Amino acid sequence: MMTSQRCSNVIVDGMLFMRKEDWERIGRLKPAERVDLAVGMSDVCVRVCADGVRDQNPGISEEELIERVRERLMFDKGRKSEV
């Protein structure tokens, strides 16, 4: 499992650029560890998105929150029918 280490990744125009060493470390993870990492990162993205929706819509119902988070996470209109 990966340990917490200070990283020197760079964010430019909202995009994260990782160091070669970080990519190599991820490459050495077992498949199950990579899946765990990806799931954890996805969970964080959904929580951040939900917090943003809540901040913009105080008192929003849980059902409406879920719908708006789904809308924000869609990359194109064609994916809406898949959810």
- The Cα 48–Cα 3 span in angstroms is 23
**What is the DSSP-derived secondary structure letter of residue 76?**
S
pTM over the 0.75 mark: no
The residue type of 14 is G
Flag whether 13 is in a domain: no
How many distinct structural domains can be found in the chain?
Answer: 1
Q: Residue 66 sits in which domain range?
A: 30-82
Q: How does residue 26 score in pLDDT terms, banded at 50, 70 and 90?
A: confident
* pLDDT tens track for 42-66: 999 999 999 999 999 999 999 999 9
Flag whether 63 is in a domain: yes
Mean pLDDT score of the chain: 81
pLDDT above 90 for 27: no
Flag whether 71 is in a domain: yes
Residue 12, φ and ψ in degrees, nearest 5: -130, 125
pLDDT number for residue 2? 47
- The Cα 37–Cα 29 span in angstroms is 10
Flag whether 45 is in a domain: yes
Flag whether 76 is in a domain: yes
Flag whether 66 is in a domain: yes
CA-nearest of 73, 50, 77, 52 to 63 is 50
Flag whether 18 is in a domain: no
